Amino acid sequence: MINVSGLNKSFHQFAALSDVNFTIKRSEVVSVIGPSGSGKSTLLRSLNLLVKPDSGIIQIGGQQINADALHHRQIADFRRQTSMVFQHYNLFKNKTALENITEVLICTQRLPKSQARERGMALLSQVGLAHKADAYPSTLSGGQQQRVGIARALSVNPQVILFDEPTSSLDPEMRREILNLIAGLADKNLTMMIVTHEMSFARDVSDRIFFMEQGKIIEQGKPSQILSAPLENRTRTFLHDFA
Ligand code: ADP
Ligand code: MG
């Protein structure tokens, strides 16, 4: 489903990603862990072309781009392969919960308004928020806002959903509720990459874990191996300092 090779990205000489390579299969759930500044967000954002890589080839679903020869025309199609769920939800503040979902469907998927509404309501029901369809983000709790963010990500039927610390802004109670929601999606055979600091969650939902440091995937493997018996000292140190 995802194939990345030779991915590089620097910001002013600083290598945020340096020769990243990996493959993810359809329906796989991969958690990405690692210290702050190790390039986790840059990796996810590169997959969505929110960040333009300096070099590398990325294939997602049926689309492939080469950063060295990125054509403007390819970008929209490539972006449609993934959707992102952000730490700070990134909802449109002046739109209701429902409109946050339908806006995307109407503008990018060209769905008629009535169909977009129907789809939006079904998704809000799925995340337990049908009763908040007409509420504005400022009147919703963090957990509820993130539910809208997840419903919006699902609405476009992406090949892959990318989660960037989806629970880091939430207090523990709401964190649990969002983690349960994401775990439910994992059971539905969606392909997902999840940047997270929730190690027990990563252990429970992931098929594999990537450990990143200084712009590289230092180590990857099954959760039991990475979290309990890492091969690399750097992974061990991170987990030790983290716990
Ligand atoms: P993580 O998500 O693992 O905390 P990031 O991918 O956000 O790490 O950042 C990796 C490195 O790249 C950091 O040193 C960060 O300061 C730098 N970086 C990220 N985005 C930018 C940007 N837009 N401009 C300059 N530096 C950036
Ligand atoms: Mg980050």
Q: Which range of residues forms the domain containing residue 126?
A: 88-157
- The answer to whether residue 167 sits within a structural domain is no
Domain count across the chain: 1
Instruction: From 7, 8, 11, 164, give the residue whose CB has the most ligand 1 atoms within 8 Å, as the site to mutate.
Output: 11
Q: What is the pLDDT of residue 154?
A: 96
- The answer to whether residue 116 sits within a structural domain is yes
pLDDT at 17 over 80: yes
pLDDT at 241 over 90: no
Query: Residue 235: which residues within 8 A CB-CB, separation 6 or more?
Result: 211, 218, 219, 226
- The answer to whether residue 143 sits within a structural domain is yes
- The answer to whether residue 169 sits within a structural domain is no
Q: What is the pLDDT of residue 108?
A: 84
Tokens of 144: 């509820």
The closest of 230, 153, 225, 231 to 193, measured between CA atoms, is 153
Q: What is the pTM of this model?
A: 0.96
Tokens 């340096």 correspond to 18
Tokens 């750097």 correspond to 234
- The answer to whether residue 98 sits within a structural domain is yes
Q: What is the pLDDT of residue 187?
A: 85
Q: What is the pLDDT of residue 189?
A: 85
36 pocket-lining for ligand 1 (C-beta < 6 Å):
yes
pLDDT, one tens digit per residue, over 148-207 is 999 999 999 999 999 999 999 999 989 999 999 999 998 888 999 999 999 999 999 999
pLDDT, one tens digit per residue, over 26-37 is 999 999 999 999
In this prediction, what percent of the chain has a pLDDT beyond 90?
91
Q: What is the pLDDT of residue 242?
A: 80
Q: What is the pLDDT of residue 213?
A: 97
pLDDT, one tens digit per residue, over 76-134 is 999 999 999 999 999 999 999 999 999 989 998 889 999 999 999 999 999 999 999 99
Beta strand 191-195 with 160-164 is parallel
Alpha carbon of 212 to ligand 1 centroid (Å): 13
Q: Which residue's C-alpha comes closest to atom 27 of ligand 1?
A: 11
CB 33 within 8 A of CB 212: yes
CB 113 within 8 A of CB 148: no
Determine which helix (DSSP H) or strand (DSSP E) holds 9, and give its type and residue range: strand 2-11
42 pocket-lining for ligand 1 (C-beta < 6 Å):
yes
Task: Give me the amino acid identity at 69.
Answer: A
- The answer to whether residue 72 sits within a structural domain is no
Query: Residue 46: which residues within 8 A CB-CB, separation 6 or more?
Result: 7, 9, 17, 52, 53, 56, 58
Give CA–CA dist 73/17, Å, rounded: 25
- The answer to whether residue 196 sits within a structural domain is no
- The band of 72, judged by pLDDT with boundaries at 50, 70 and 90, is confident
Give CA–CA dist 221/212, Å, rounded: 12
- Mean of the pLDDT values across residues 204-225? 97
147 pocket-lining for ligand 1 (C-beta < 6 Å):
no
pLDDT at 143 over 80: yes
Beta strand 29-33 with 191-195 is parallel
